[in-house]
Amino acid sequence: MLSGVKETRADKLFVLMNYIYLFIALIVVLYPVLFIISASVSDPKYVSSGEMWLLPKGLNLDGYSRVFGNSKIWSGYLNTVIYTVLGTALNLFVTLPAAYALSRSDFAGRGLFMGLILVTMFFGGGLVPTYLLVKSLGLMNTMGALILPAAASVWNIVVARTFFQTTVPRELQEAAHIDGCTNTGLFLRIILPLSGPIIAVMALFYGVMHWNSYFNALIYLNTESKYPLQLILRQILVLQEMSAETTGAAVSGDMAAAMNNKAEVASLVKYAAIVVSTLPIIAVYPFLQRYFVQGVMIGSVKG
């Protein structure tokens, strides 16, 4: 509220309702995170029985020891880091110049190019033509199959273009040209240093997309040593579900106990792997939050 302006009862009620709503939203978002963290360090029998519902119960770190001792997870971790870094770098290399070019009012035919780009946002060839294209290019079972098809996002190009249109003054561009600066020099020396917020936003968007991606790897990769972390986690989830279904079958005695224990261990590994796989994104986000909020607001609200 502005200083010197008296709040009415309706204003106070509105603020109170906002706090209540935000508190409920915080609980809804935060509870699954706390549950997964607690489940990853709890005794699996308390998790499966529902006795552990928030705080850890029966401290058990076997899940993390199995995760860190699993060579497949480490291999998947390394592959995901490589795919994310190279993929995000390629995304920025394609998105930022394209968005800046489309933001220039003196770019002849920018309306036509923008229209052609937007068409791909609403109409796609589908899975089978894309698969045939990747196969014909010789990208099957290679890193390029995961990176090149996702080289640019139309939505991100539109957001970045709006940022350039509303943030970079045209007078600044004209002054640079008067001083003899070329378009390439203008983009590299002036535009990019002023575009920290949108670069951070695009890097975060693309980085999270690559980090969480598994479907393209499932379709195009057939060598386990090239699998990203998310595909390894999917295998763990599938094995855990199969173990649980098998445990529920009509078996008795020591076999049932052994199979139940195997299912509990698989569940523990699953929660530990989820925590380990999300830590990098959680660690990076606080450093980009300020730029993230600023870039999204400028790039999507104005214009």
Q: What is the mean pLDDT of the chain?
A: 82
Helices within the chain (DSSP H only): 9-40, 44-49, 62-68, 71-103, 110-122, 127-136, 144-147, 154-167, 170-178, 183-186, 196-212, 215-220, 229-247, 253-300
CA dihedral 168, 171, 177, 178 (to 10 degrees): -160
CA–CA dist 100, 141 (Å, integer): 34
Is the domain 65-300 a CATH 1.10.3720.10 member? Answer: yes
> For position 3, what pLDDT does the model report?
55
Answer yes or no: are the C-beta atoms of 159 and 244 closer than 8 Å: no
Which tens digit of pLDDT belongs to each residue from 229-260? Answer: 888 888 777 766 665 555 555 444 555 555 56
Q: Residues 6 or more apart from 181 whose CB is under 8 A from it?
A: 189, 190
Q: How far is CA 166 from the centre of its chain?
A: 26
Q: From the CA atom positions of the chain, what is the Rg in Å?
A: 25
Contacts of 83 (CB under 8 A, 6+ apart): 143, 146, 147, 210, 213, 228
- Would you state the pLDDT for residue 292? 65
Please report the pLDDT score of residue 82 as a whole number: 93
What residues in the chain have per-residue pLDDT under 70? 1-5, 239-263, 291-303
Q: What is the pLDDT of residue 168?
A: 80
Tell me the backbone φ, ψ of residue 274, rounded to 5 degrees: -65, -45
CA 246 to chain centre: 34
How far is C-alpha 76 from the geometric centre of its chain's CA atoms?
16
Spatial separation of the C-alpha atoms in residues 14 and 20, rounded to whole Å: 10
Domain positions in the chain are: 1-60, 65-300
Task: Report pLDDT for 295.
Answer: 58
The distance from CA 170 to its chain's CA centroid, rounded to whole angstroms, is 34
Kindly report, residue by residue over 107-151, the tens digit of the pLDDT.
Answer: 888 889 988 888 888 887 788 888 999 999 999 999 899 999 889
**Taking the model in full, what pTM does it have?**
0.79
**pLDDT at position 135, please?**
92
